Amino acid sequence: MLNNQHQFNTSVAISTEDVDRINKKFYGRYNFPWYPSFLEKYSSQALWLTALNQELGYFDNSRVVNQPKIWVAGCGTNQAVITALKYPESEVLGTDLSKESLAAARSLAEQLNVTNLRLEERSLNEVCYEEEFDLIICTGVIHHNYDPSMPLRALTKALKQDGILELFVYNYYHRITTTSLQKAIRMLCSTTDNPNTELEHSISERMINDDSANYSDFMSAFINTMRNWNESAMADAILQPVEYSYTVESFDDLVQQCNLEIVAPCLNSWDKAEGRLSWDVKFGDEKVQQQYHTLPDVERWKIGNLLKLEQSPHIWFYVQRKDSSYAAKPIKKICEEFLSTRFTKMSCEYQHFVIQDDNEFIAEETPKSKPHPKFPQDKVAAKVFMKCKGDKTIAQILAELNLSLSQYEINELRLHLTTPAYPYICAV
């Protein structure tokens, strides 16, 4: 077993070259992700950069430099384009091993006249960038490789000493159903050692549409949801030839092995949609809660992963080089700084492009603005937001509102107001 990650469907993983070849073919056939229905084009990156720095715990906007050089590693069809549109003042590089996915990205970039993006066909297993990037985004990529630590080492090498890497790998407890189904399909098709995606695809479609099979309730419920999925989503979930998945514990081991360390969780759109904002556990028992809070962040998140299982967040973290000149800030300290900071409302206009029937994107005449919706939906966050006028600290606002929040609630408030998922306020 390679390292101590959880191996699931890795029987075709014979060598790096084999797996790269298999992935190239797979993502050539199933471009991922599928076409977005809209795209947002910004003329300034201030809102995104501020929110990113705030999520990392730097309310003075100092952690990630002003015009970060960005690499979207394993960018698929649109992630590098979306990043270049959000960071128009930065140089963005997008790489992927799938020619077809890059062609889709190129076509999007041309349609939206994106001029700050370079796209290159490269495997992460063969790149040799050295200390080049301030920000690297690599989501959903390394767990599909022969040995995930190999591309991760390449990312470490490419990161500047004080750079930040946004990294997402599968959560072991999210993958139980998908991986069991995937393995069953592969056994059914006798393709465990030799992928035959077309055969697996046709058998999966039949299984998805089979109303009378006596699968477990859990499996039936999952299969039912897949009936509305498009081909790429289905393929990504159950036909991907190689996948590893991780717990916070094994993820921490993996990043440590690659000379990296966890900085903070990254609140992503999936967890936002599910309302899974925090890794922390809320215990009803005071003694247990106190004991829990004696532990460092990563240890608490490991426990959160074990106790929340399938309801824990995605393993999606910001990490940095172990030799970074910044120490990873404990969440408690970030919350204290949040409480003692004055904030004002932030907003930013963007051009909204909507997809047409012929897959062309057309700009709407009137610009839209972020954040959207205009007011936080969370009740406490909305009350605090209304009072953020740059004159009072969050602690003063909470006192004025007569709100006494626990450590857990303060952290949720911070996430609900200051992060890229909820970019409502910025420090003055």
Positions that interact with ligand SAM (CB under 6 A): 20, 23, 27, 32-33, 74-76, 79, 95-98, 101, 123-125, 139-141, 144-145, 151, 236
**Closest separation in Å from C-beta 35 to ligand SAM:** 12
**Closest separation in Å from C-beta 152 to ligand SAM:** 11
Beta bridge partners of 41: 351
Name which of 64 and 141 has its Cβ closer to ligand SAM. Answer: 141
Q: How much is the CA Rg of the chain, to the nearest whole Å? A: 22
What tokens were used for 32?
Answer: 């991922």
Beta bridge partners of 345: 425
Name which of 103 and 382 has its Cβ closer to ligand SAM. Answer: 103
**Closest separation in Å from C-beta 150 to ligand SAM:** 8
Name which of 76 and 313 has its Cβ closer to ligand SAM. Answer: 76
Burial of residue 268 (number of CB atoms within 10 Å: 0-12, 13-18, 19+): middle
Name which of 136 and 398 has its Cβ closer to ligand SAM. Answer: 136
| Cα distance between residue 8 and residue 378, in whole Å | 38
Question: What is the per-residue DSSP string for 9-33?
Answer: E-TT---HHHHHHHHHHHHHHS-SS
HSE-CB at 74 with a 13 A cutoff on CA atoms is 27
**Closest separation in Å from C-beta 20 to ligand SAM:** 6
What tokens were used for 243?
Answer: 């996948």
Which residue, among 268, 232, 243, has the nearest Cα to 33 in the 3D structure?
232
| CB 263, CB 164: distance < 8 Å | yes
**Closest separation in Å from C-beta 76 to ligand SAM:** 3
In single-letter form, the type of residue at position 369 comes to: S
**Closest separation in Å from C-beta 412 to ligand SAM:** 26
**Closest separation in Å from C-beta 373 to ligand SAM:** 25
Beta bridge partners of 389: 344
| Cα distance between residue 242 and residue 144, in whole Å | 5
Name which of 151 and 376 has its Cβ closer to ligand SAM. Answer: 151
In single-letter form, the type of residue at position 178 comes to: T
Residue nearest to ligand SAM (CB): 76
Which residue, among 75, 98, 33, has the nearest Cα to 229 in the 3D structure?
33
**Closest separation in Å from C-beta 97 to ligand SAM:** 4
DSSP state, residue 328: P
Name which of 182 and 418 has its Cβ closer to ligand SAM. Answer: 182
How many angstroms from the chain centroid is the CA of residue 326?
22
**Closest separation in Å from C-beta 27 to ligand SAM:** 4
Name which of 56 and 141 has its Cβ closer to ligand SAM. Answer: 141
Name which of 153 and 308 has its Cβ closer to ligand SAM. Answer: 153
Which residue, among 234, 265, 237, 236, has the nearest Cα to 252 in the 3D structure?
265
Beta bridge partners of 244: 7
Name which of 63 and 143 has its Cβ closer to ligand SAM. Answer: 143
342-345/389-393 β-pairing: antiparallel
